[in-house]
Amino acid sequence: MLGCAIYNSGEISDNMAVIIDGKQLSAQVVQEVAVETRAFVEEFGFQPGLAVVLVGEDPASQVYVRNKVKRATEAGLHSIEYKLPVHTDQVTLNALVDKLNNDPKVHGVLVQLPLPKQLNEEDIIAVINPEKDVDGFHPINVGRLSSGQGMLIPCTPLGCLMMLERVLGNLSGKNAVVIGRSNIVGKPMAALLLKANCTVTIVHSRTQNIEAICSGADIVVAAAGQPQMVKSSWIKPGATVIDVGINAVECDGKRKLVGDVDYTDVEPVAGAITPVPGGVGPMTIACLMKNTLIAARAQMNK
Ligand code: NAD
């Protein structure tokens, strides 16, 4: 990262990409949530509650859940972790979610994905009470987002949007390309950018000539799960590049995490760029805290 300017850290010269520091921004978001949580506790006499359900022992999921619980504590939320064995069946998982749906101390329910293969992700998402669906994956919340009235918005795209607004301010009229069309990142990202009045193109694994499409964009959000796929030739000089990808690769015999963007190649061309790690990842978790508080307020104000 030598030779790069860090966002919010002082003067930025013309030829350097702004590095969008997700750690710093997410810490700010968590602090803001903590302040609002204190006000919530004063008003209602208890903490907003977040239940996180982990099935099995997937190492990456274990790390994510640990980080979520840690951030929840920092944000002043009451977090409850449920660990279920890898062979848990659908009936047992549904019953736990149903119990959490009916627990007045729980305002947010998150089932960590991916699930072991005997479990159906769509079924379990549909069982979560939409008012407690802090991941924003329930079909009702998907519909609300696509009609522009979303309240519980998927955390990763929400974090990306916050970063873009920090760097660019008003996004109206920008040409944005989203690489990837998954339900958890690509599609909700496109919906959010559209709501922010961008002109949005989604490209995916069947799209032809992705490079040419990306190279006209003011904003590129890469969420394809393809290590270092996006090169400098794909990027218009000065464009803002958000790298959602988290890919474990072998480098000199060591395992390391890289994004979907070839950072070293793209950074000199981009106007602003997120690093991996330390970009979108921490923002995702901070937005989960924000959603839990939003859900709790909405439930108490009913
Ligand atoms: P996914 O596998 O569900 O979807 C990937 C999408 O990318 C698909 O729509 C596919 O059509 C598209 N795609 C695949 N190969 C492509 C190619 N060569 N060219 C263009 N498009 C291509 O993945 P996902 O769940 O959306 O996650 C995407 C990436 O983001 C992964 O690396 C994942 O680990 C990461 N991720 C990060 C966070 C975070 O918090 N930072 C959160 C969620 C996902």
Return the half-sphere exposure (C-beta side, CA atoms, 13 A cut-off) of residue 82. 19
49-55/108-111 β-pairing: parallel
How far apart, in whole angstroms, are the C-alpha atoms of residue 84 and residue 283? 27
Whole-number pLDDT of residue 14: 56
What confidence score (pLDDT) does residue 12 get? 46
- Would you say the CATH fold of 154-281 matches that of 46-131? yes
Identify the residue whose C-alpha is closest to ligand 1 atom 31. 225
Residue 6 burial (CB < 10 Å; 0-12/13-18/19+)?
A: middle
**Domain spans, the chain:** 46-131, 154-281
CA of 252 to the centre of ligand 1 (A): 25
Residue from 259, 292, 294 nearest 68 by CA: 292
Active site residue 135: yes
What residue type is 56 in one-letter code?
Answer: G
Q: Whose CA is nearest to atom 35 of ligand 1?
A: 245
pLDDT at 15: 61
For residue 248, how far is its CA from the centre of ligand 1 (angstroms)?
A: 13
* Per-residue pLDDT of the chain in tens (302 residues, 90 and over written 9): 333 444 543 344 456 899 999 999 999 999 999 999 999 999 999 999 999 999 999 999 999 999 999 999 999 999 999 999 999 999 999 999 999 999 999 999 999 999 999 999 999 999 999 999 999 999 999 999 999 888 999 999 999 999 999 999 999 999 999 999 999 999 999 999 999 999 999 999 999 999 999 999 999 999 999 999 999 999 999 999 999 999 999 989 999 999 999 999 999 999 999 999 999 999 999 999 999 999 999 999 98
Q: What is the pLDDT of residue 302?
A: 86
Structure tokens at 220: 């590129």
To test ligand 1's pocket by mutation, which of 110, 181, 182 has the most ligand atoms within 8 angstroms of CB?
182
Separation of alpha carbons 184 and 64, rounded Å: 16
Is 46-131 a CATH 3.40.50.10860 domain? yes
pTM metric for this prediction: 0.95
CATH classification number, 154-281, choose in 3.40.50.720, 3.40.190.10, 3.90.79.10, 3.40.50.1100: 3.40.50.720
pLDDT of residue 13: 44
